[in-house]
């Protein structure tokens, strides 16, 4: 079939297998040219391994450290008439490259919140991998079923305490407009923390530790975004922010639990980037478009793979990691530097629908959004007839 992008609001409902492979292979090439990660991991579990920061983590572990990797994700398989989700094609490209390099890799496609999937992962680790020395937790989901009570919780993107009105970039209409969001109530805050907080990360490590499949001196990391004043009302000091604060609680609890193994749990704060998740957050498309313009002009812009490659080399496997007072690993220093934030603020008040192309990097934002789904590559023929049926050979039954 001929596969062209089908965009609905802030999501793309299809994906291109050839373009997704290009996206993955670019990241692999970047990690390989940087050379080996000194004292990097050897057996890695990545929970949320098929897109964004989780995919970049799996690529960096495998091609920077030669690690065996077990990837967990929840992706749509292809049919003869419909494409798979991007994460499926990303994983297929990763698998092909890892197999060619002689790197052990396996995947589980299912709901990572369930205890059944955790047990399946533990069985694979025990029988095929040996003990895990790095667990990456990079899930982004709108809802979660509690494995004990069976209750389903749903997250919301709302401010706390008072309503919030701000400018945003409507990517569907390609217009600058105002968006107003009403404040969350206590139940919505609670549910968002249940979905996006540290409870499931903690549960994963509880069960991995109880099964004795974690190595001595193991590490685990979960990803967050902290931001600055412009994004705090809808991100940092909002329902998502409350959930991310819970990651700090979970990191402390996990570190305490892993004390006998000298294990460590970290929260890593990363740069704002175009992801499927960030595209849905009010004001973030405008903020990211302006940020990209400012940072690219300065030469300090980094994408997903640059951030994670840096995290491994300058954070997780460095003797002198950049950390804040709360013990978080920080890879967002360039974005949050005062001169970058001031430049973004200055442009924030000036940009109009008519000046989107001159005052923002909307073109770069949009192209990066397309690349998440395998589109936007000039050397990929999007008029060619391609099969959507790309198999995964190493997927667990």
Q: Which residues are catalytic?
A: 235
Sign of CA dihedral 269, 273, 275, 280: positive
Say how many C-beta atoms besides its own lie within 10 A of residue 27's C-beta. 25
Phi-psi region of 376 (alpha: psi -120 to 50; beta: other; left: phi over 0): left
How is residue 391 written in tokens? 């198999």
CA-to-CA dists, residue 278 to 35, 92, 220, 287, 387, angstroms: 30, 24, 23, 10, 30
10 contacts 171 by C-beta, under 8 angstroms: yes
CA 360 to centroid of chain Cα atoms: 24
Looking at residue 4, what DSSP letter applies? -
Contacts of 264 (CB under 8 A, 6+ apart): 218, 219, 220, 255, 258
Rounded-to-integer distance, Cα 269 and Cα 276, Å? 18
């Amino acid at each position: 079939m001929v596969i062209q992008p089908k965009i609905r609001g802030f999501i793309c409902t299809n994906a291109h297998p050839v373009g997704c492979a290009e996206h993955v292979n670019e990241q692999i090439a970047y990690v390989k040219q940087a050379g080996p990660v000194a004292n990097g991991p050897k057996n890695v579990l990545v929970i949320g391994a098929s897109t964004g920061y989780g995919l970049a983590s799996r690529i960096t572990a495998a091609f920077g450290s030669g690690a065996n990797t077990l990837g967990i994700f929840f992706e749509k398989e292809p049919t003869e008439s419909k494409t798979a989700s991007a994460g499926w094609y990303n994983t297929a490209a990763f698998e092909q490259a890892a197999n060619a390099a002689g790197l052990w890799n396996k995947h589980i496609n299912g709901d990572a919140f369930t205890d059944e999937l955790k047990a399946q992962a533990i069985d694979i680790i025990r029988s095929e991998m040996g003990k895990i020395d790095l667990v990456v937790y990079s899930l982004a989901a709108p809802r979660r079923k509690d494995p004990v009570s069976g209750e389903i919780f749903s997250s919301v993107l709302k401010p706390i305490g008072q309503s919030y009105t701000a400018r945003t970039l409507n990517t569907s209409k390609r217009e600058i407009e105002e968006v107003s969001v009403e404040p969350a109530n206590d139940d919505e805050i609670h549910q968002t923390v249940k979905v996006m907080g540290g409870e499931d990360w903690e549960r994963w490590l509880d069960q991995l530790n109880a099964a004795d499949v974690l190595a001595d001196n193991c590490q685990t990391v979960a990803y967050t975004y902290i931001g600055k004043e412009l994004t705090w009302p809808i991100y940092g000091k909002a329902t998502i922010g409350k959930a991310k604060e819970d990651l700090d609680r979970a990191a402390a609890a996990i570190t305490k639990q892993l004390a006998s193994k000298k294990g460590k749990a970290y929260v890593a704060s990363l740069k704002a980037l175009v992801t499927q998740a960030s595209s849905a957050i009010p004001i973030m498309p405008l903020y990211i478009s302006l940020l990209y313009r400012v940072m690219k002009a300065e030469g300090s812009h980094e994408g997903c793979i640059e951030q994670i490659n840096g995290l491994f080399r300058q954070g997780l496997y460095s003797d002198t990691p950049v950390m804040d007072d709360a013990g978080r690993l920080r890879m967002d220093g360039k974005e949050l530097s005062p001169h970058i934030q001031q430049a973004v603020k200055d442009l924030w008040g000036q940009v109009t629908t008519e000046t989107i192309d001159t005052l923002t990097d909307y073109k770069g934002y949009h192209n990066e959004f397309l690349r998440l789904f395998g589109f936007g590559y000039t050397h990929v023929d999007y008029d060619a007839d391609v099969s959507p049926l790309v198999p995964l050979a190493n997927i667990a039954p």
